[in-house]
Chains A and B, each alone.
Chain A
Amino acid sequence: MMEEVKETASVLSVHDDSIKVTEVLKDGDTLTFIIVSQKLSGTGEYHVDRTYEDFEWLQQHLFSQGDVPGIQGVIFPPLPAKPQVNASPRSIKQLGFLALGECQPYCKALETFLQQVAAHSILSKNKAVEVFLTSSDPPGRQKVKKNIFNRLSQAVEEMRKEGHKDVDEFFQNERDHNLVLTGCTKTAAEKFLDVVATEQKIAVACGHFSTALHLCVEPGEDPDKQAFSRVCVKLSEVFESIKKNMTSVAENNVNTLGLGLDLESRYQEAEREMLFRRTCKLVELENAQRNVEKAKPVKKAAMEEVKKAAETEFEHTSGVAKQEVKSTINNCIPHFHVSFHSGLVC
């Protein structure tokens, strides 16, 4: 799903699909990720180490590109939730699949995030991305003030605007479809998580059983006893191998299908947010239009301007959104598909 950046004037100087999160270092409570990326020109690699806060910094910068036209129509690649070394049950639930296994699924998720950002035609142009990937010093940690995503206010208006009928059929369909898909993917991801968790439990139980069997071994000369002991030992070995098998099955599942489902579901969320933003813009535009009609002649001109601004914004947004949606279909699905197949054969 990482398409090559087609644009010529890409600010980014690295290959987007060469970005890899190779390692994670645990230092007390903080996790540091090592990111390696290949230079576009010539040979060579950039090695940088970043913490989760740096990722957030990057995301903030991406969000705050108010000046880029149509930025609101962009589906922002989702950043996984913050990892914690001693995770609380709630955060584990939040992380879902990414909490299972060692850091491997989580690193993969971060990697995907970076790759998606770097491959995005609009986002990759942001200087922050370049800085993030190539600068050896950690990027600044200051909070960026302007943030178009003020979650709080959104939540309140969400209910009202969510159901707002769209003018464009394409988008209306997309919104409906997205709603259904998001729900389904989330459910599937949760259920699969249950399956994997149970598999792990079985593995543990098998391990216990195998140990207990080992303890059953009775020493002695009596052939009876010896035979019995032999049975126990063999059985214990069998269970040990069952346990190993189960563990690897669970691991596989997590790394492939689990990850895919998780990614897919987060992407759907991001798309939903984008569509919502567009709907908000639509509402704004309609309000502006109404104001223009209602406005007294004195204010009419001002209203007209506002309306025009809203219109332009809306159009830009829609344009970008359409592109995004279309490209999503090509992006995400194959990735998902691949993880599917590999996940099946356990």
Chain B
Amino acid sequence: MATSSERSPPPFPDSEDQDVLDAEEVRGRDSDEDEDLFGTTIDRSEVTAGVIDPLSQQEAKQTSTAPVIDLSGDSQPVTSKIADPLVDLFSDAPPAAEAKKPSSANVDLFDDEEGSDIFAEPLQTKPAKQPQKSLFGEPDEDVFGEPLGAISKKPVPKELKEKSVTTKVTAGGPLQDSKPADIFSQAAASTPSVTSTVNPKTNGVHSEEDGDIFAEATVELSLDSPRNERKKEATAKPSAPAPTSLPAAASLAKPQPPALEEVRDGMNAYMAYKVSTQTTLPMFRNKTFTVRRRFSDFLGLYEKLSEKHGPNGFIVPPPPEKSLLGMTKVKVGKEDSSSTDFVERRRGALERYLQRVVNHPSLLQDPDVREFLEREELPRAVSTQALSGAGFLKMINKATDAVSKMTIKMNESDVWFEEKLQEVESADQQFRKLHALVESLVVHRKELSLNTASFAKSAAMLGSAEDNTALSRALSQLAEVEDKMEQLHQEQAASDTFTFAEMIADYIRLLGAVRGSFDHRMKAWQRWQDAQSMLQKKRETEAKLLWANKPDKLQLAKEEIAEWEAKVTQYERDFERVSATVRKEVIRFEREKTKNCKRQVITYLECLLQSQQQVSESAFSYS
């Protein structure tokens, strides 16, 4: 059941719908102000202009009904919408059936839901983030009972300046409507983020039980670094300002005190990342817990997940790559900006990776994931080491895979898949290009800040050498202004990097994973076809034997035929299942992509606006 944790932003353009939907949200999101849904206020910036769509309105309407009906009141403690004035209205709207079905048995059911969800989603994500406005307070997203497990992201009001995403992942058996609010604070967030609430679709599938099973897992990855201030900024999630009166179900992400650990052990030094989770899911032992993990642990998790779920057609999110150069530099203790950059990038990437894993409803069910998040000590994942035996084995496997991919000519019956594959390919290309361009932009900005700094210095020198006092004063002022500008440029470069380039890089990796799932589907098809041809051969043998009249061998042949028939049917079913999963996954992926992109873009633009303002302020202050 992959989809349940989809985030589909609730289509609530206006407050009312919002409220309805909110009813049960656990969202602990602070933005309770619920400003009214994105739609209305946003238009401020041209960027968001197009976003609010009437479509969202419709969506809102659609979904709003459901939750209201179902609410049974108690179930969700979450309903507390906290401070929202609007919330009060609906305070207890029971969440519409939100049950997320963890099991894949209900896949088909959700498929439909999913379809409708998709549409609601993208539009929501673009609430305009007006820099000074607290935009959307969508308090509890989860109101919509979405069988698929709505993940609601609450938009954070700008004032909060946080970037937090509340995602509710409802998973687990008796889930019901409660929409857990998952609040993921993205570590690097220092700007307001738009959280879109997922629009749970009430899918009559679930009854709202008043259980309170909120699957909320907030995974917050904080990289503790010796450079505290930096990390603090990174990890000082918005949660700080977030009021979050959390309903029981909601979990707020709280900033963790940064403390990246570097375990020194000569050349075996490694960086330990602190992974903090806040959750209300019953399947975890505690409500919050923290563990230390190494990079190879993350890779190990990925290995396990992809082995288990990949062949079934799931898109397993990939972690960042190993980078020998980067880590060696850090180990050697080089304290320059490139190594801090590298560490920061990696940390952000790992955090997003974990968040994606947790958001995927079926992956979350995997005991490995739970273990990863909870267990104190994980066995060293040696299979991820590049130069080990397992590493070589992996390489060989990859090579054979590549070869077989080239030779398998799939008879594509479903044109949808073909189209999708095309899209994925072209998207991959585009993203790669974009990534290269963004990186070059970042390089230039860094250069600009360097040059500005040296110009400031030389202007200062000139100012002191000049004996004409007026001019000298002017020059020193110029030097100061330029200094400030340098800082701004530096920051701008950083934000470029972290919001943009990283996101694009993430997507390039994800697209690779998507292609991987397509490949798995192809392999399933191949198996099926092979089985069919085998069956054919067996039948021929049987016919021959019949004709040759050898009764004993005939029996054997018949048995084999029966066996192969069973296999054929099973493989065929497998194939169908995998296809369906892939389809679902891809749709979900696309939705996610759009949502995330919007969010990131908005954040980036806000940041840009801010820095431009600062630049012009400092320029004016000079004169």
How far is B486's CA from A198's CA once the two chains are assembled, in angstroms? Answer: 13
A228 contacts B430, C-beta separation under 8 Å: no
Q: Which residues of B contact A (CB under 8 A)?
A: 46-47, 49-51, 53, 55, 118-119, 121-123, 125-126, 423, 427, 430, 433-434, 437-438, 440-441, 444-445, 447-448, 451-452, 454-455, 457-459, 461-462, 465-468, 470-471, 474-475, 478, 481, 590-591, 593-594, 597-598, 601, 605, 608, 619-620, 622-623
- Shortest CB-to-CB span from B119 to chain A, Å, is 5
Q: Does A201 contact B (CB under 8 A)?
A: yes
- Chain A contacts of B125 at CB under 8 A? 227
Known contacts A205-B441, A234-B49, A345-B620; can you find 10 more A-B pairs with CB under 8 A?
A181-B462, A185-B462, A195-B452, A212-B437, A218-B427, A227-B122, A227-B123, A230-B50, A235-B605, A242-B608
B454 contacts A208, C-beta separation under 8 Å: no
- Chain B contacts of A230 at CB under 8 A? 50-51
- Shortest CB-to-CB span from A52 to chain B, Å, is 30
How far is B474's CA from A69's CA once the two chains are assembled, in angstroms? Answer: 38
Mask for A150-183, Cβ within 8 A of B = 1, else 0?
Answer: 0000000000000000000000000001001100
- Chain B contacts of A336 at CB under 8 A? 471
With A224-B118, A224-B122 known as contacts, the answer to whether A234 contacts B46 (CB < 8 A) is yes
Q: Does A95 contact B (CB under 8 A)?
A: no
How far is B465's CA from A177's CA once the two chains are assembled, in angstroms? Answer: 8
Q: Does A191 contact B (CB under 8 A)?
A: yes
Q: Which residues of A contact B (CB under 8 A)?
A: 177, 180-181, 184-185, 187-188, 190-192, 194-195, 198-199, 201-202, 205-206, 208-209, 212-213, 215-216, 218, 223-228, 230-231, 234-235, 237-238, 242, 329, 333, 336-337, 340-341, 344-346
CB < 8 Å neighbour of B455 from A192, A224, A225, A340: A192
- Chain B contacts of A187 at CB under 8 A? 458, 461-462
B458 contacts A195, C-beta separation under 8 Å: no
CB < 8 Å neighbour of B601 from A188, A206, A209, A231: A231
B481 contacts A209, C-beta separation under 8 Å: no
A–B complex contacts, Cβ < 8 Å, 11 sampled: A184-B458, A195-B451, A205-B441, A209-B434, A209-B437, A213-B434, A224-B590, A235-B47, A235-B601, A340-B474, A341-B474
With A209-B437, A230-B50 known as contacts, the answer to whether A201 contacts B444 (CB < 8 A) is yes
B458 contacts A191, C-beta separation under 8 Å: yes
CB < 8 Å neighbour of B451 from A188, A194, A206: A194
How far is B123's CA from A175's CA once the two chains are assembled, in angstroms? Answer: 70
- Chain B contacts of A205 at CB under 8 A? 437, 440-441, 444
A202 contacts B441, C-beta separation under 8 Å: yes
How far is B623's CA from A340's CA once the two chains are assembled, in angstroms? Answer: 10
CB < 8 Å neighbour of B467 from A177, A208, A225, A234: A177
A220 (CB) vs chain B CBs: closest residue = B423
A198 contacts B451, C-beta separation under 8 Å: yes
- Shortest CB-to-CB span from A101 to chain B, Å, is 18
With A212-B430, A345-B623 known as contacts, the answer to whether A198 contacts B471 (CB < 8 A) is no
B601 contacts A202, C-beta separation under 8 Å: no
B591 contacts A224, C-beta separation under 8 Å: yes
- Shortest CB-to-CB span from B9 to chain A, Å, is 11
A195 contacts B465, C-beta separation under 8 Å: no
- Chain B contacts of A195 at CB under 8 A? 448, 451-452, 455
How far is B593's CA from A191's CA once the two chains are assembled, in angstroms? Answer: 43
CB < 8 Å neighbour of B448 from A198, A218, A345: A198
B55 contacts A344, C-beta separation under 8 Å: no
How far is B51's CA from A195's CA once the two chains are assembled, in angstroms? Answer: 37
A208 contacts B447, C-beta separation under 8 Å: no
With A194-B455, A231-B598 known as contacts, the answer to whether A223 contacts B122 (CB < 8 A) is yes
- Chain B contacts of A199 at CB under 8 A? 448
A207 (CB) vs chain B CBs: closest residue = B437
- Chain B contacts of A340 at CB under 8 A? 471, 474-475, 478
How far is B452's CA from A340's CA once the two chains are assembled, in angstroms? Answer: 16
With A202-B441, A215-B430, A223-B119 known as contacts, the answer to whether A191 contacts B462 (CB < 8 A) is no
B597 (CB) vs chain A CBs: closest residue = A231
How far is B448's CA from A206's CA once the two chains are assembled, in angstroms? Answer: 14
Q: Could you say which of A205, A237, A329, A336 has the most chain B C-beta atoms within 10 Å of its C-beta?
A: A205
CB < 8 Å neighbour of B623 from A216, A223, A227, A341: A341
With A191-B451, A224-B118, A337-B474 known as contacts, the answer to whether A184 contacts B619 (CB < 8 A) is no
Q: Could you say which of A225, A230, A336 has the most chain B C-beta atoms within 10 Å of its C-beta?
A: A230
- Shortest CB-to-CB span from B42 to chain A, Å, is 12
- Chain B contacts of A212 at CB under 8 A? 430, 433-434, 437
With A198-B447, A202-B441, A227-B51 known as contacts, the answer to whether A191 contacts B454 (CB < 8 A) is yes
A202 contacts B444, C-beta separation under 8 Å: yes
How far is B591's CA from A113's CA once the two chains are assembled, in angstroms? Answer: 64
How far is B463's CA from A333's CA once the two chains are assembled, in angstroms? Answer: 12
- Chain B contacts of A242 at CB under 8 A? 608
A341 (CB) vs chain B CBs: closest residue = B623
B481 contacts A344, C-beta separation under 8 Å: yes
How far is B620's CA from A213's CA once the two chains are assembled, in angstroms? Answer: 33
- Chain B contacts of A345 at CB under 8 A? 619-620, 622-623
A196 (CB) vs chain B CBs: closest residue = B451
What are the 4 A-B residue pairs with the smallest beta carbon separation, nearest first?
A: A227-B122, A191-B455, A184-B462, A188-B458
With A184-B465, A191-B455, A202-B448 known as contacts, the answer to whether A238 contacts B47 (CB < 8 A) is yes
How far is B118's CA from A235's CA once the two chains are assembled, in angstroms? Answer: 23
A190 (CB) vs chain B CBs: closest residue = B458
B594 contacts A228, C-beta separation under 8 Å: yes
A231 contacts B434, C-beta separation under 8 Å: no
A227 contacts B594, C-beta separation under 8 Å: yes
A180 (CB) vs chain B CBs: closest residue = B465
- Chain A contacts of B438 at CB under 8 A? 209
- Chain A contacts of B123 at CB under 8 A? 223, 227
A330 (CB) vs chain B CBs: closest residue = B468
- Chain B contacts of A238 at CB under 8 A? 47, 605, 608
A241 (CB) vs chain B CBs: closest residue = B46
- Chain B contacts of A223 at CB under 8 A? 53, 55, 118-119, 122-123
B459 contacts A188, C-beta separation under 8 Å: yes
With A195-B448, A227-B598, A238-B47 known as contacts, the answer to whether A344 contacts B121 (CB < 8 A) is no
How far is B471's CA from A70's CA once the two chains are assembled, in angstroms? Answer: 31
A333 contacts B471, C-beta separation under 8 Å: yes
B51 contacts A344, C-beta separation under 8 Å: no
Q: Could you say which of B53, B462, B593 has the most chain A C-beta atoms within 10 Å of its C-beta?
A: B462
